Amino acid sequence: MRRLSIVASPLIILGILGSSALLGYALTRPPAPKAVVVIPEGATVYDINKILREKGVLTEEQESLPESLEGYLFPDTYEFFVPSGLETVESKFEENFNRKVRTVMPERLREEDLKEILTKASLVEKEVPESAERRVVVDIMMKRLKNNVPLQMDASICYLKKESSCLPITRSDKDTDSPFNTYRYRGLPPHPIGNPGVDAIFAVMNPTETPYWFYLSDPETKKTVFSKTLDEHNNNIVKYLSK
């Protein structure tokens, strides 16, 4: 009589042995690797894609997060599987943005109004580090926009240069033909120039009304120096930036 040879898979054998063996098999399987990713306030989509690739969350073969998400990738600490699919990464960012940002926005806020808030906040995030000063700068921005005066913000030039250290801004930089150049073109840039945090968003929604129209940052103290008139501002430029 011929004997039949039956080869059972490891899972079938484990099933025959019982649930305890299955549990033991599951416990001995190596966990999928994860990476903790910290997105700093003000980081651009370009910066974030670089961070995700360095951490192995996105591979070099995968597509990058699109520029259309600029302003909507909330700065926070995330945990991702290594690697993760692009859709999974986008979904996690979207979920966190909805939880941390949309919930503090006015009800029935139009998408174009949300985009405007994020664009202003992204400029303030890069221009001024201190909370109270940010609220004053927002007031200056609003007055300039209302009166069709160019914003003239260095942060928008830095977005074009995509460099970690883009200062000082040169005359050539200010002549760059781009809608993101707030020296050459009036109004806000076409979309956010980075991903602002809660503090910058709060500043945009709660500006401090002042008589100021101009400001600059003291390179030594990093404090913001405000001016009411152009003459006063020009004097401050000589005092603080011509050392």
DSSP secondary structure letters along 210-226:
-S--EEEE-TTT--EEE
- The enclosing H or E element of 22 equals helix 19-28
Question: Residue 134 in contact with residue 200, Cβ under 8 Å?
Answer: yes
Q: Looking at the domain assignment, is residue 241 inside a domain?
A: no
pLDDT at position 9 over 60: no
pLDDT over 70 at 45, yes or no:
yes
Helix H or strand E segment including 230: helix 230-241
E-state strands within 76-187 = 77-81
Mean pLDDT along residues 42-61 = 96
Same domain for 142 and 75: no
Question: Is residue 157 domain-shared with residue 84, that is, in the same domain?
Answer: no
Q: Which helix (H) or strand (E) holds 137?
A: helix 131-146
Do 174 and 181 meet the contact criterion of CB atoms below 8 Å apart?
A: yes
Alpha-carbon span 157 to 161, nearest angstrom: 6
With residue 93 as reference, give the H or E element that holds it: helix 86-100
Q: Which of 102, 137, 157 is the last residue of a domain?
A: 102
Whether the per-residue pLDDT at 39 is higher than 90: the answer is yes
Is 109 contained in some domain? no
CB 151 within 8 A of CB 141: yes
- At 23, is the pLDDT very low, low, confident or very high (cuts 50, 70, 90)? low
Residue 27 lies in a domain: no
Q: Is 8 domain-assigned?
A: no
Mean pLDDT, residues 95-123 taken together: 95
DSSP 194: S
Instruction: Flag the least confident range among 24-38, 63-77, 78-92, 100-114.
Output: 24-38
What pTM value is reported for the model?
A: 0.85
Write the CB contacts of 85 (distance below 8 Å, at least 6 apart in sequence): 62
Mean pLDDT of the chain: 88
Number of structural domains in the chain: 2
Report the range of poorest mean pLDDT among 20-24, 65-69, 75-79. 20-24
Segment 109-122 mean pLDDT: 97
| β-sheet bridge partners, residue 79 | 36
In the predicted structure, residue 49 carries a pLDDT above the cut 70 = yes
Q: Which residue has the tokens 């033909």?
A: 177
Residues 6+ apart with CB under 8 A from 193: 44, 70, 119, 122, 123, 126, 155, 156, 158, 159, 180
Q: Taking a C-beta distance cutoff of 8 angstroms, is the pair 192, 115 a contact?
A: yes
Q: How far apart are CA 30 and CA 232, in angstroms?
A: 66
Do 82 and 133 fall into the same domain? no
What is the mean pLDDT of the segment spanning 54-69? 95
Read off the pLDDT of each residue in 102-106 and give the average, rounded to a whole number: 91
Q: Which of 102, 120, 152 is the last residue of a domain?
A: 102
| Any domain includes 148 | yes
Q: Which of 67, 102, 137 is the last residue of a domain?
A: 102
Question: Which tops the pLDDT comparison, 168 or 36?
Answer: 36
Average pLDDT of span 206-234: 93
Instruction: Identify whether 23 is part of a domain.
Output: no
Both 149 and 80 in one domain: the answer is no
Residue range(s) defining the domain that contains residue 166: 128-210
| Predicted confidence (pLDDT) at residue 79 exceeds the cutoff of 60 | yes
**pLDDT above 90: percentage of residues in the chain:** 72
Instruction: Look at 22-26, 29-33, 84-88, 197-201 and tell me which has the smallest mean pLDDT.
Output: 22-26
| pLDDT band, residue 19 (cuts 50/70/90) | low
Confidence bin at 145 (pLDDT 50/70/90): very high
Please, which pLDDT band fits residue 166 given cuts at 50, 70 and 90? confident
Task: Indicate if 98 and 163 belong to the same structural domain.
Answer: no
Residue 92 lies in a domain: yes
Q: Is residue 201 part of a domain?
A: yes
